[in-house]
Amino acid sequence: MHRPAQLGPPPPNPSSSYYLANSDRRSKPHRRQAHRRLRRLRQHEYTFTSVLKACAGLTDSVNGTKIHGVVTKCGYDFNLFVRNSLIDMYFKLGLEAFAYTLFDDMPIRDVVSWNTLVSGYCLGGYVDKARWVFDQMVEKNSVSWSTMISGYARLGRLEDARWLFDAMPVRNVVSWNAMIAGYSQNEKYSDAIELFRQMQQAGSVRPNDVTLVSVLPACAHLGSLDLGKWIDKFISRSRMELGLFLGNALADMYAKCGCIAEARQVFDQMREKDLVSWSIIITGSAMHGHADEALAYFYEMLECGMKPNEITFMGLLTACTHAGLVDKGLEYFHVMEQDYGVTPKVEHYGCMVDLLSRAGRLEKAEDLINSMPMKPNVIVWGALLGGCRIYKDTERGERVVQRILELDSEHSGSYVYLANIYASLGRLDDAAKCRLRMRDNGVMKTPGCSWIEVDNTVYEFFMGDKSHPQSNKIYSMIRELGLKMKLAGYKPKTDLVMHNIDEEEKEDALSTHSEKLAIAFGLISTSEGTTIRVVKNLRVCNDCHEAIKIISGIVQRGIIVRDRSRFHHFNNGKCSCNDYW
What the chain holds in terms of domains, given with CATH numbers, is 345-445 (1.25.40.10), 449-575 (no CATH)
pLDDT for the residue 17: 42
**Percentage of the chain exceeding pLDDT 70:** 91
Q: What is the CA radius of gyration of the chain?
A: 31
Give the pLDDT confidence score for residue 39 in this predicted structure. 54
Kindly state the average pLDDT of the residues 325-342: 96
- 506-534 confidence digits (pLDDT tens): 777 889 999 999 999 999 999 999 999 99
For CA atoms 108, 114, 119, 121, the dihedral sign is positive
Q: Is the pLDDT of residue 453 over 70?
A: yes
Residue, of 533 and 57, whose pLDDT is higher: 533
C-alpha span between 58 and 52 (Å, rounded):
10
Question: What pLDDT is attached to residue 500?
Answer: 57
What kind and span of H or E run contains 214?
Answer: helix 209-222
Which comes out higher in pLDDT, residue 280 or 142? 280
- Contacts of residue 333, defined as CB under 8 A and 6 or more positions apart, other chains included, come to 317, 344, 348, 352
- Which of 70-74, 165-169, 454-458 is the least confident region? 70-74
**310-323 helix and 275-287 helix, angle to the nearest 10 degrees:** 20
Asked if pLDDT for residue 4 goes beyond 50, the answer is no
Q: Are 89 and 116 in contact (CB under 8 A)?
A: no
Mean pLDDT of 565-571: 94
What pTM did the predictor assign?
A: 0.82
Task: Tell me the C-alpha to C-alpha distance, in Å, between residue 167 and each of 99, 339, 520.
Answer: 29, 56, 42
Average pLDDT (143-151) is 91
User: Binning pLDDT at 50, 70 and 90, where does residue 13 land?
Assistant: very low
- Residue 227: burial class (beta carbons within 10 Å; 0-12, 13-18, 19+): buried
Q: By mean pLDDT, which of 26-40, 174-188, 376-390, 555-569 is the weakest?
A: 26-40
H helix or E strand, kind and range, residue 54: helix 28-57
pLDDT score for 451:
95
Distance CA 527, CA 75 (A): 75
Comparing 300 with 79, which gets the higher pLDDT? 300
Contact 174, 143 (CB under 8 A): yes
pLDDT at 207: 95
What is the three-class DSSP state of 321?
A: helix
Contact 267, 297 (CB under 8 A): no
Position 501 confidence tier, pLDDT thresholds 50, 70, 90? low
Which has the higher per-residue pLDDT, 59 or 323? 323
* Helices of type H across 339-470: 346-358, 362-370, 378-390, 394-407, 412-424, 428-440
| Higher per-residue pLDDT: 76 or 546 | 546
User: Using CA of residue 217, residue 223, residue 229, residue 234, what is the dihedral sign?
Assistant: negative
**Average of per-residue pLDDT across 446-452:** 91
Average pLDDT, the chain: 87
In angstroms, the CA 275 to CA 280 distance is 9
Kindly report which listed range (18-27, 176-185, 334-343, 532-541) carries the lowest average pLDDT score: 18-27
Report the 10 Å Cβ neighbour count for 495.
Answer: 12
Helix extents (H) in 445-537: 471-487, 503-511, 514-525
**What is residue 37's predicted lDDT score, i.e. its pLDDT?**
53
Q: Tell me what pLDDT residue 410 has.
A: 84
* Cβ neighbourhood burial of 50 (10 Å; 0-12, 13-18, 19+): exposed
Q: Please, are residues 67 and 55 in contact by the beta-carbon 8 Å criterion?
A: yes
According to the model, what pLDDT value does residue 122 have? Answer: 82
By CB atoms closer than 10 A (0-12, 13-18, 19+), residue 176 is: buried
Q: Residue 90's CB: how many other CB atoms inside 10 A?
A: 26
Q: What is the pLDDT of residues 18-43, one digit of tens each?
A: 333 444 444 555 656 655 554 555 55
**Winning range, highest mean pLDDT, from 54-63, 425-434, 484-493:** 484-493
In this structure, the number of other CB atoms found within 10 A of the CB of residue 164 comes to 21
The per-residue pLDDT for 354 is 96
The residues near 453 (Cβ < 8 Å, ≥ 6 apart) are: 222, 223, 224, 225, 226, 227, 459, 533
pLDDT band for position 430 (cuts 50, 70, 90): confident
The dihedrals phi and psi of 329, each to the nearest 5 degrees, come to -60, -45
For the segment 392-398, the average pLDDT, to the nearest whole number, is: 90
Looking at residue 10, what is its pLDDT? Answer: 38
Mean pLDDT of 275-292: 96
Give the per-residue pLDDT at 104.
Answer: 80
Which among 247, 258, 199 is positioned nearest to 224, based on CA atoms? 258
Q: Do 534 and 515 meet the contact criterion of CB atoms below 8 Å apart?
A: yes
